[in-house]
Amino acid sequence: GRGEMEGQVRVRPELQAMITFRQLNLMLEPWPFSHAFDVIFCRNVVIYFSQETQERLFHRFAAALGPRGYLFLGHSESASTCSDVLEPVGRSVYRKAG
């Protein structure tokens, strides 16, 4: 955005119908969906989990992404220990490997 909307984004109306926002208990086994996601936003959440739990979640995110899907994390979060399933494409942005 520009002016007082700087730093904000708006999704085009033709894309809004294709977007679903969900809340999810990340510790739930299994997650209650069966389709692959193009994009997952999980920002400023995993920093509150242990390193072991973070790595498990990153692998689960990768499994939930479709081919070449994207994972967006917070700026203080990193999935660099999971380079086997997620490749960095920007600061706090990862793409499903493969």
Domains contained in the chain, number: 1
Residue 68's domain spans which residues?
20-96
Residue 48: give its domain's CATH number: 3.40.50.150
Confidence of residue 4 (pLDDT cuts 50, 70, 90): confident
At 47-70, the pLDDT tens digits run 999 999 999 999 999 999 999 999
Residue 27 located in a structural domain: yes
Rounded Cα–Cα distance for residues 48 and 22 (Å): 20
Residue 59 located in a structural domain: yes
Q: In Å, how far are 1, 8, 21, 57, 98 from 5, measured between CA atoms? A: 5, 6, 22, 33, 37
Higher-confidence position of 19 and 62: 62
**Does the pLDDT of residue 2 top 90, yes or no?**
no
Residue 12 located in a structural domain: no
CB 82 within 8 A of CB 88: no
